[in-house]
A and B are shown apart, each in its own frame.
Chain A
Amino acid sequence: MKKVLFLVLVLLVGLTSQTALADAPDDVDQIQLRDPLELERAAMQYMLAFEAYVTTRRSKDPNVRSKMVKMMQEYRNAYARFLEMLREDKLYAPNKPKDPAGWYDEKHKKIKGYKREWKKTDAKELRAEVKEMVKNGATPEEIKAFIQAKLPTAPMSIDPGIYTTTTSASAFPLPTQTVPAQGTIPTPTQTVPAP
């Protein structure tokens, strides 16, 4: 009897200590796979706009602080654009935990059999540049133009399916992976079939 109670207790503890709320999308088929470059550009834009806004907010220089409202507006605009993309692609539901890359990968996996390799970055150097510009009194328009110019022009993530595998002629053949240069990676609109 004690063992049964113990088992029930263990089960209950297991159920209540769930660490992640793994909510799957309602219908994976509804998800649209947009060109990842568009998503990366939108995410990069709000990330850098946030840096500009926070730097303005933390500044003690009245001249810099006077630009705070405009900087906040730029951040809100950038995030709203990103959110709109997620909404259009069915990668976001307000009453579900956010997992846009996870939901994207589910569809990607369903179509291609594997997930996309997203680039792990926080754009530290670019954020440092934005921070410096804000401190030096750059206008919100200048910051916006700078951010726009620095957005990625080729996908930062990689579709593992476009790797090519060759074998050497040595006694211990080792598979080598050749990744094309960033600029030559075909955009997913070319590689991912339309949903």
Chain B
Amino acid sequence: MINNRQRNNRRGIAIVMVIGLVAIIVPVLYMLSQLGTSQTKLAFKYHENLLTETTALSGSNAGISRLRGNIRGYQSLTNQLIGDESYSLTLRPTGKGFFEQDLYYLLANSQIKSHHYAIMAEAEQFNPQPSPPVLVIARDYWNTVEPYEIDQVADVLSMQNDRGVDLLRLDETREYEKNATPDQYSTELLAKSSMLPAEIVPDWPEIVENLKSEKLSM
């Protein structure tokens, strides 16, 4: 026969075990759930970032298509839908080239939640002879995650200045690329492999070989 004292002891042990289990398992479960949530949140963030970039790129391509279609002059399109997302596009004439071709700033941006992405490039729209499609050359793409409004002159001027600083650096890089011998160029690039993500390092020599063959050599 189990007396009352023994029964109470067993009950006490059971209660301690239950409390102990709860004290350990609940925080572990909570931690695991938080871990899963943060990874999910991160995945969503990356997805949104990527979606914002691709949407802005689509906007930029839409701008090139408009120019190819011989649509000329200042153009500002907002809330253009591509799937469920939207982009804005601005084509802002900047001047003329030596074949009377129109020169433009090609601006596109997209925003998903708090993510912004804006692209700024230059485009040349030649005059069709005698009819479209029109030759369009786009180059010197520049992008930013700053929330610029591409249809506002003040914002475009800021972008123009920021991009100008990067273009100056690009000029320096081009100058170096032009003046370095192919061997100097590849040696310098190969030496940079330690600064690269581990995934790229094995392929770097092949990439450098390609870059060497594309090097400016005026």
Contact = CB atoms under 8 A, between A and B. Distances in A.
Interface in A17-60: 18-21, 23, 36, 39-40, 43-44, 47, 50-51
Interface string A74-111: 00110111001000000001111111111110000000
Interface stretch (A2-10, A120-128, A162-170): A120-128
A190 interface: no
Contacts of A81: 218
A114 interface: no
B218 A80 contact: yes
Contacts of B174: 80
Contact of B94 (A69, A80, A94, A97): A97
A70 B93 contact: no
A20 B156 CA distance: 11
Contacts of A40: 98-99
A15 interface: yes
A99 B95 contact: yes
B168 A94 contact: yes
Contacts of A44: 99
B210 A94 contact: no
B129 to A, nearest CB: 5
A148 to B, nearest CB: 14
Contacts of A20: 74, 92-95
A178 interface: no
Q: How many of chain B's residues touch chain A, expressed as a range? A: 35 or more
A16 interface: yes
A97 B95 contact: yes
A72 B214 contact: yes
A39 to B, nearest CB: 5
Contact of B99 (A15, A18, A119): A119
B98 A98 contact: no
Contact of B135 (A47, A77, A98): A47
Nearest to A97: B94
A187 interface: no
A96 B164 contact: yes
A36 B97 CA distance: 12
A21 B153 contact: yes
B9 interface: no
Given A80-B178, A95-B167, A102-B95, A21 B126 contact: no
Contacts of B74: 19-20
Interface in B116-143: 122, 126-129, 134-135, 137, 139
9 contacts: A16-B152, A20-B74, A81-B218, A99-B95, A100-B97, A101-B97, A101-B100, A121-B99, A127-B135
